[in-house]
């Protein structure tokens, strides 16, 4: 195995694409270290570790002396080809170098960082934001996560496995790198959220209602107990809800339906439109709002047939725009349990 092949093996592990036997070997080193996050050092430090690791392994494998036998057989240099050296020999070398790299990192940090890395369960890394400001994390697949104060996130080094899985306590905003072959799953105490690549927010504070709100793309949400982990937004599981932008789901253990889909508190403009209307049918205004915010507005087209309006909207929110229309027409609106809006009017007199 050459140096290039060696680095390629480590990179395949970080990318979740290890060949048979490679993943088990790297994870065995990780467990022996007790600090699995060492395999996801910042790029500059990771390159230093790789270089030092390679030099150490080359030295050991060109001596037919295992690390534990060095004192007993010191000076007995016996050249050996790389692929004849026992795997345990360069595994031990990796442990020595990575352990030293970790010690260097700890010595460089006189005070704990707001986002702390700790070994959670075996094979999982835990990041906890103990500061007062949101912290940005970047995972091995390029996904970016904004972790809010008091929140914690767990994940496997390199997001190894057939699925990219993380565990969340608290609140985080996710910008997930697209990878249709490897869904991204967020586990909270109550919910499982599955995406292929999108932006969304998850709130999962202890003792409070869990929420998932979507900004971009499609998200599938299901109750964690008995969840189908093979489900995707394209093939959702029975009992799950698929969310689109400006929609959110809340969880409640009370009642026959624990998941409730609704609109987010402040819907964002998804497709900018012109909001200047001069004696235009109200139906046309409602259609423009539907397109701009990606929402469904229910109304009685017949009752609104004779209604026109002259209005220009600027920075008003969706609900403020609906309030203006309601006051102008003597109408009203409500939101439904299925993330829709119902606009009610008695019609207009000529």
Q: Following CA atoms 36, 42, 48, 50 in sequence, which dihedral angle do they give, to the nearest 10 degrees?
A: 50
Over the stretch 262-297, which tens digit does the pLDDT of each residue have? 999 999 999 988 899 999 999 999 999 999 999 999
Please tell me which residue, 160 or 329, carries the higher pLDDT value. Answer: 329
Q: Do the beta carbons of residue 313 and residue 307 sit within 8 Å?
A: no
Which run of H or of E encompasses 115?
strand 115-119
Over the stretch 202-212, which tens digit does the pLDDT of each residue have? 999 988 888 99
| 326: helix, strand or coil | helix
pTM score, whole prediction = 0.63
- Mean pLDDT, range 227-241, rounded to an integer: 87
The fold of 276-344 is: Phage tail protein beta-alpha-beta fold (3.55.50)
Widest Cα–Cα separation across the chain: 106
Confirm whether 115-263 and 276-344 share one CATH topology: no
> Which pLDDT value is given to residue 134?
94
* CB neighbour class for 313 (10 Å; exposed up to 12, middle 13-18, buried from 19): buried
Q: Do the beta carbons of residue 195 and residue 217 sit within 8 Å?
A: yes
The fold of 115-263 is: Jelly Rolls (2.60.120)
Domain borders along the chain are: 3-107, 115-263, 276-344
């Amino acid at each position: 195995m050459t140096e290039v092949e060696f680095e390629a093996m480590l990179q395949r592990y970080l990318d979740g694409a290890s060949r048979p036997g490679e993943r088990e070997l790297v994870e065995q080193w990780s467990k022996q270290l007790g600090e699995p996050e060492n395999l996801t050092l910042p790029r500059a430090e990771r390159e230093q570790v790789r270089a030092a690791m390679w030099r150490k392994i080359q030295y050991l494998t060109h001596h037919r002396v295992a690390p534990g036998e060095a004192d007993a057989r010191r000076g007995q240099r016996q050249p050996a080809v790389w692929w004849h050296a026992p795997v345990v020999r360069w595994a031990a070398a990796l442990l020595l170098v990575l352990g030293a790299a970790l010690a260097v990192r700890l010595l460089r940090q006189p005070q704990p960082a707001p986002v702390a890395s700790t070994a959670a369960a075996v094979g999982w890394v835990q990041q906890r934001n103990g500061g007062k400001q949101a912290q940005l994390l970047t995972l091995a697949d390029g996904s970016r996560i904004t972790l809010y104060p008091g929140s914690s996130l767990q994940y496997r080094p390199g997001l190894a496995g057939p699925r990219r899985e993380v565990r969340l306590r608290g609140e985080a905003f996710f910008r997930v790198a697209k990878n249709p072959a490897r869904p991204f799953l967020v586990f909270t105490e109550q919910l499982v959220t599955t995406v292929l690549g999108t932006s969304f927010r998850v709130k999962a504070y202890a003792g409070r209602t869990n929420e998932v709100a979507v900004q971009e793309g499609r998200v599938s949400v299901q109750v964690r107990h008995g969840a189908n982990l093979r489900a995707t937004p394209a093939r959702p599981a029975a009992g799950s809800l698929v969310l689109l932008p400006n929609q959110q789901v809340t969880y409640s253990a009370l009642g026959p339906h624990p998941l409730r889909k609704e609109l987010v508190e402040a819907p964002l403009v998804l497709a900018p439109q012109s909001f200047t209307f001069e004696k235009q049918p109200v139906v046309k205004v409602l259609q423009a709002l539907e397109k701009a915010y990606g929402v469904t507005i229910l109304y009685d087209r017949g009752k609104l047939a004779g209604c026109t309006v002259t209005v220009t909207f600027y920075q008003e929110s969706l609900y403020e725009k609906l309030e203006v229309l309601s006051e102008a027409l003597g109408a009203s609106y409500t939101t439904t349990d299925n993330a829709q809006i119902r606009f009610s009017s008695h019609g207009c007199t000529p």
